[in-house]
């Protein structure tokens, strides 16, 4: 089956009770069994079943199975948020004294978390961009993972997944990627060698800005060495499932960052239209970027533009598709605010992946708690505007953005400023 058919009719789509086409929302905290022996067997993992919703739940299980299938992974673990997925996946692999190699072009919350890890004795070595050439010199006997974003938010740097995976694997290190901005509709990183894939499900998968959630997807392909990855020592006996078993039996379960069943249901509901929405979002983003590129008073960054340094990589590995984000620079913070305030059909709000087009100036909002060095490394400037493109009619978006840029230019002219 192709992508959209799999979303609706894949092997992970269960035949739900009473002929329902969607999983029921199971809001029960606990689950009753006929005997003490059966309840104990479920707790011990000897038989399948649910004991407590913090650890597993039928609605959450439906989401996990469907996301694992659509991403081409062995198993998935859903989390309370995208940040919960990032933090839990990384904590599952590291102990004090271990090291990480990461791109510095990261979402602000992720950069702050890696800084937090320093207090626990886990050091991160940063590279400006995740490439085979930049990663290889930093790999050593203490490196436990290579981490980055497939397409960074908001700088839109693109990772050559295949090349970075080859270098990481040669050193016996897994590649862990946040694929939120691409979704499996654009790219399935596991097919190019990624070992662990993370999504903020709150974004494109849920799709309507109505459910905070995240997911960790295990490819099942990495050969875990318990002597190297000490954090997985107790789960090495599970072989291909070692990473997921450790998540479920230890760090994920103990941190308690479980997804609410209602949010899991909303994410399942959103997942079914992911392909249709992403097709429209990417087409709109490309049309908007091309229409604004070259206009006076604005600099446009988008992966398919010929001016983007990774446009050939996008053509080769990403089916020529970009993503749903367009990044603009307006020349000054004042001009950026004038531009945003002049928009008519756009929401000034955080989040990406909504059906609505959203804009935000990230420097003092999303990156409000980042250091100046982290902000610069993320490709954020005082005049940066991140645009999360929605499913509106492209013609309306183009007209709105062009008139807002013209309004900012006119305000500058009135103030006697030159562009």
Pick the closest to residue 399 from 352, 360, 357 (CA basis).
Answer: 357
Helix (H, G, I), strand (E, B) or coil at 216: strand
| Residue 16: predicted pLDDT | 84
Q: How crowded is the C-beta side of 143, counted as CA atoms within 13 Å?
A: 23
| Phi, psi angles (nearest 5°) of residue 342 | -90, -10
- Residue found under tokens 């562009």: 419
Q: Which residues contact 288 (CB under 8 A, 6 or more apart)?
A: 326, 387, 389, 394, 397, 398, 401
Q: Which residues contact 137 (CB under 8 A, 6 or more apart)?
A: none
Q: At what angle do helices 82-91 and 108-117 cross, to 10 degrees?
A: 30
What is the C-alpha to C-alpha distance for residues 105 and 80, in angstroms, rounded to an integer? 24
Structure tokens that stand for 316 in this block: 């080769």
What is the C-alpha to C-alpha distance for residues 193 and 219, in angstroms, rounded to an integer? 9
Rounded (to 5) percent helix, strand, coil in the chain? 45, 15, 45
242: β partners: none
What is the C-alpha to C-alpha distance for residues 215 and 38, in angstroms, rounded to an integer? 29
Successive 10-residue mean pLDDT values, the chain, 419 residues:
94 86 94 95 90 95 97 98 97 97 93 95 96 97 98 96 98 98 97 98 96 97 93 92 95 94 97 97 98 95 97 96 97 96 96 97 90 88 97 98 94 68
Strands 299-301 and 325-329: antiparallel
Pick the closest to residue 340 from 265, 251, 412, 401 (CA basis).
Answer: 401
What is the C-alpha to C-alpha distance for residues 180 and 327, in angstroms, rounded to an integer? 16
What is the C-alpha to C-alpha distance for residues 85 and 378, in angstroms, rounded to an integer? 20
Q: How far apart are the first and last CA of the chain?
A: 52
Q: Which helix (H) or strand (E) holds 144?
A: strand 143-149
What is the C-alpha to C-alpha distance for residues 181 and 292, in angstroms, rounded to an integer? 21
């Amino acid at each position: 089956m192709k992508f959209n058919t799999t979303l609706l009719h894949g092997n992970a789509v269960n035949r739900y009770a009473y002929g329902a086409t969607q999983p029921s929302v199971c809001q029960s905290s606990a689950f009753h069994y006929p005997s003490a022996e059966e309840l104990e067997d479920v707790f011990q993992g000897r038989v399948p079943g649910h004991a407590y919703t913090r650890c597993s739940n039928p609605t959450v299980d439906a989401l996990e199975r469907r996301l694992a299938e659509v991403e081409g992974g062995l198993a998935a673990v859903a989390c309370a948020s995208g940040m919960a997925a990032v933090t839990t996946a990384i904590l599952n692999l590291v102990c004090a004294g271990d090291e990480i190699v990461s791109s510095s072009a990261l979402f602000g919350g992720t950069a702050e978390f890696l800084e937090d890890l320093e207090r626990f004795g886990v050091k991160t070595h940063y590279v400006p961009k995740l490439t085979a050439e930049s990663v290889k010199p930093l790999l050593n006997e203490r490196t436990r993972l290579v981490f980055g974003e497939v397409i960074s938010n908001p700088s839109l740097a693109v990772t050559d997944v295949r090349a970075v995976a080859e270098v990481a694997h040669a050193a016996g290190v897994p590649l862990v990627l946040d694929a939120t901005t691409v979704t499996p509709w654009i790219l399935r990183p596991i097919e190019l060698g990624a070992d662990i894939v993370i999504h903020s499900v709150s974004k494109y998968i849920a799709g309507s800005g109505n459910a905070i959630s995240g997911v960790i997807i295990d490819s099942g392909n990495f050969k875990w060495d318990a002597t190297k990855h000490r954090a997985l020592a107790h789960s090495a006996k599970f072989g291909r499932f070692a990473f997921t078993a450790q998540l479920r039996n230890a760090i994920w379960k103990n941190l308690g960052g479980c997804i609410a069943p209602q949010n899991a249901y909303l994410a399942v509901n959103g997942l079914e239209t992911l392909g249709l929405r992403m097709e429209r979002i990417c087409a709109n983003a490309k049309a908007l970027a091309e229409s604004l590129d070259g206009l006076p008073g604005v600099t446009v960054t988008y992966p398919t533009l010929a001016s983007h340094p990774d446009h050939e990589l996008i053509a080769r590995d990403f089916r020529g598709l970009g993503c749903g984000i367009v990044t603009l620079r307006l020349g000054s913070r004042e001009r950026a605010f004038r531009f945003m305030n002049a928009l008519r059909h756009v929401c000034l709000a955080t989040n990406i992946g909504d059906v609505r087009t959203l804009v935000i100036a990230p420097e003092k909002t999303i990156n409000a708690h980042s250091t100046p060095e982290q902000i610069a490394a993320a490709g954020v400037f005082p005049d940066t505007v991140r645009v999360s493109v929605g499913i509106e009619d492209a013609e309306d978006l183009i007209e709105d953005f062009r008139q807002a840029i013209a309004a900012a230019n006119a305000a500058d002219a009135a103030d006697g400023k030159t562009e």
